[in-house]
Structure 1
Amino acid sequence: MSNDRRQQRSPGLRMGRPFGIPVYVSPTWLIVAAFITYTFQPAVLSFLPWLSSASAYAVAFVFAVFLYLSVLLHELAHCVVALRYGLPVRRITLYLLGGVSEIEREPDRPGREFLVAFAGPLLSLGLAAVGYVLYRVVPPDTIIGVLIQQLWLSNLIVGIFNLLPGLPLDGGRMLRAGVWKATRNPGAGTVAAAWVGRVLAVALVVVPVALTMITGQGQDLTFLLWSVLLASFIWMGASQALRSARVRARIPQVQARALGRPAIAVTADVPLAEALRRAREAGARAIVVADHEGRPVAIVNEAAVGATPEHRRPWISTGAVARSLEPSLVLAADLEGESLIDAMRETPAAEYLLVERGGEVYGVLVTADVNRMFTGV
């Protein structure tokens, strides 16, 4: 079980907060910026032969920057629509292969999923349309004219490519929404769109190679490299979507009452060895520390017990290896599915106390037992 609220390291240099959304640029962007600058410089010289070599590199770098600004606008379009539907957005990161929007929750309706996904390609195609109009009126043999021409073409390609119907592309999310709508099963939509994504990944590599073999013409190495990179990105994203679908399919099976361990209660001053002996005799698999009035105040930590040498256990009190009970560590025994997972995410811990609605202790829920429900997916 992952914890979305866990503190994470910064993904790169923070550039600002448009619409309140943190935007970061990953160091990997420098790699692709250098690659675009190097490969686009000869094209700049072919369009503008009067430029010096250094000036052509500068123009190529400006193109790389504006291209990624277009990618940022593409991602912002997703995020603005997501915010419109009350979906929190953690951040946008520009990295090697483009940009990624980290939207913390999935839309709860297929129509909203479709619109959030479609917003990005629509924005890219809109930029392409505006760029094309400008291209028709700006002299093509100028620096601005060359940049506008390449940017509208790039946005057209980005928009069309992202509409391909396979995860993790936007078109894949749109396909997922369609299957979800037809079957009323979001998991079925994810599986269908992920498998289409895998087919697209294979096609991105197989088709260029097959055309080369059929025509006998050599394939451009740069084009082939980008095909392999994009195919790898799509394959990994589709595979991750399939794993996520399998995880989500198991979530309804997670029930606190079924996973809870029977527990006994002891006072904090009872030696650990004695508490363990009582637990074995009672057939309990967990120990709760209670005050002298019988109210639970802490849960014995299984990892701390395991780390205590057996010869020391008679001399260590049970309270020394227990975690004090905070209100958020006390969960209702009838919690299950998403509600249980969300409650555990609120306060990550190794153990939780399960209580009945009337306040009686039911047992202890161990996070490791929940995690085992998802092992191998």
Structure 2
Amino acid sequence: MTRRLSGGGFTIARVAGTPVRLQYSWFLVSAVIVVLFGPQVQRIFPEIGPLAYLVAAAYAVLLLVSVLAHELAHALTARAFGWPSTEIELNLWGGHTQFVTRGATPGKSLAVALAGPAANLLIAAVGWALIEALEPVGVLGMLASVTVLVNFLVGVFNLLPGHPLDGGRIVESAVWRSTGSQDRGMLASGWAGRAVVVAIAATVLALAASGSPRVSILVVVVATMVCFFLWQGAGESVRLARARLAHRRGLDGGREGSQER
């Protein structure tokens, strides 16, 4: 995902001159992953004992690496268009890449947006092929499967058509290209993001009402947090687009008034 970055955290690396910052909130996510998945790993591999929690911590690291691969794909594609990246942030919600756009077009914007999900889906495909060829077993086999699953989910989720997800850039680019206005594209992307939130919430509620065993309290809590985050991002896009369109209308009106005088 690409959006404006927040402060805090610390730099863990520099890639092609771009600082990669890890927010402290990531440790909260990793702790939750360890607590939730540690007991599951222990049930599957009772012989490893407390080391099951170390395997669960590896889940969190694999998620971090998958998100980093996603954001690096954004940054490197932007750099190919001459858009320098200023920072990559890894945090509670995944990650963000901030870069300076120069001479942006709908096509370039679309390419940068799609690069992130494409990287994850490529990793998932390569990982799946290696699993099929090598057939790893035990803890190694589990971690390989987790790598494939995490990258697949990160790639597919980010393709959902609404801001602040990468799929929102698809909507924005399509409307931008058809109307000639990036602001109208941003407005459409924001409303599409709100529609995605409604769809996610409706799906979870419908499954919960049907008594589906797939919907636990944890699923409801995570879905609520995700919907809150997405709704905030979509609302920010709508507000910003409306402000820009209103400003542009004001400028156009001022020019018309000057011409009449």
Alpha-carbon displacement from aligned partner over 1:273-304 (angstroms, at most 9, x marks no partner): xxxxxxxxxxxxxxxxxxxxxxxxxxxxxxxx
Q: Is the 8 A contact 1:117 1:173 kept in 2?
A: yes
Q: Is the 8 A contact 1:13 1:24 kept in 2?
A: yes
Residue identity (%): 35
Match of 1:44 in 2: 41
CA spacing shift, 1:86–1:248, aligned 2, 3 Å: farther
CA spacing shift, 1:251–1:88, aligned 2, 3 Å: farther
Match for residue 20 of structure 1 among 10, 17, 21: 17
Match of 1:195 in 2: 191
CA spacing shift, 1:121–1:88, aligned 2, 3 Å: same
From the two aligned structures, give the one with the greater strand fraction: 1
Matched, 1:127 2:141: no
- Equivalents in 1 of 2:69, 2:39: separation in Å? 27
SS at structure 2 position matched to 1:178:
helix
Larger radius of gyration: 1
Q: Is the 8 A contact 2:194 2:230 kept in 1?
A: yes
Q: Is the 8 A contact 2:66 2:150 kept in 1?
A: no
CA spacing shift, 1:27–1:189, aligned 2, 3 Å: same
- Equivalents in 2 of 1:31, 1:9: separation in Å? 17
- Equivalents in 2 of 1:102, 1:166: separation in Å? 19
Aligned-residue offset at 1:10: 4.8
Q: Is the 8 A contact 1:167 1:197 kept in 2?
A: yes
Matched, 1:152 2:143: no
Relative contact order higher in (CA < 8 Å, ≥ 6 apart): 2
Match of 1:183 in 2: 179
Aligned-residue offset at 1:254: 7.2
Match for residue 65 of structure 1 among 61, 68, 82: 61
Match for residue 102 of structure 1 among 98, 101, 107: 98
CA spacing shift, 1:63–1:218, aligned 2, 3 Å: closer
- Equivalents in 1 of 2:102, 2:92: separation in Å? 25
Aligned-residue offset at 1:70: 1.1
Letter in 2 for 1:27: Y
Q: Within 5 Å, give how 1:1-377 maps onto structure 2.
A: 10-52=7-49, 54-105=50-101, 108-215=104-211, 219-252=215-248
Q: Is the 8 A contact 2:82 2:102 kept in 1?
A: no
CA spacing shift, 1:235–1:9, aligned 2, 3 Å: closer
- Equivalents in 1 of 2:250, 2:185: separation in Å? 22
- Equivalents in 1 of 2:233, 2:215: separation in Å? 26
Alpha-carbon displacement from aligned partner over 1:293-326 (angstroms, at most 9, x marks no partner): xxxxxxxxxxxxxxxxxxxxxxxxxxxxxxxxxx
Q: Is the 8 A contact 1:47 1:141 kept in 2?
A: no
Aligned-residue offset at 1:134: 2.1
Aligned-residue offset at 1:192: 1.3
- Equivalents in 2 of 1:222, 1:81: separation in Å? 36
Between 43-52 and 233-242, the greater mean CA deviation after superposition: 43-52
- Equivalents in 1 of 2:248, 2:76: separation in Å? 31
- Equivalents in 2 of 1:106, 1:162: separation in Å? 24
Match of 1:262 in 2: none
Aligned-residue offset at 1:193: 1.4
